[in-house]
Amino acid sequence: MVTCNAQRRAVLGALVLFLSACRISSRKIVQSGTQPHLAPIRITKVNHQVGSQELLLYSMSLIGTPYHYGGSSRDNGFDCSGMVQYVYQQALQVNLPRTARDIAAVSAPIRTRDLQVGDLVFFNTSGQAYSHMGLYIGNGEFIHAPSSSGVIRTARLDQPYFSQRFTGARTLFAR
């Protein structure tokens, strides 16, 4: 009986060590603050001029669609990144990550003066560099899903609210 209990303790101890080791290694990944690597996305299957026209048409068709936090469909409404994700998928069959921060991570930075229709603009509206985003539609304007107005609409980059919170321009097109 003593050997049976000793064997059980040994097996149980080994199991605890094994599970602890698994838990520690997965905890290190989570606690390190690193996200899974997001590969850059560069659109090469269509040139920017053609692709931007498709993006413009799809995005303009969404004007007036209700804002919905976490939303990513015409039926339920959109938030800012859900709208951009939807437009790129519908217009160009390009799959984007779900959040503004992750979309920023897979896109390439560009100078503001180099913005072209279909490029992305980002804003700090809640203490994070990429907390809001929109799709540039030309002439200093972008389309976005703002929670404040309740519907997808256009805005100007030079409006005080947006110009003070602008954190950068990015593109998914190969240049």
- 53-99 pLDDT per residue, tens: 999 999 999 999 999 999 999 999 999 999 999 999 999 999 999 99
Q: Are residues 128 and 161 in the same domain?
A: yes
Is 68 a residue of the active site?
A: no
Q: What local confidence, expressed as pLDDT, does residue 3 receive?
A: 55
- The reply to whether 132 belongs to the active site is yes
CATH of the domain at 152: 3.90.1720.10
Domain count of the fold of the chain: 2
Distances 7 to 11, 12, 13, 14, 172 between C-alpha atoms, Å = 6, 8, 10, 10, 59
What is the extent of the structural domain holding 21?
A: 1-31
Residue 64 inside a domain? The answer is yes
* Catalytic residue chosen out of the listed positions 4, 48, 68, 132: 132
Indicate whether 69 and 144 sit together in one domain: yes
Q: Note whether 10 and 93 are same-domain residues.
A: no
Q: What is the pTM of this model?
A: 0.79
Active site residue 4: no
In a domain, 100, yes or no: yes
The tokens describing 131, both together, are: 């907390």
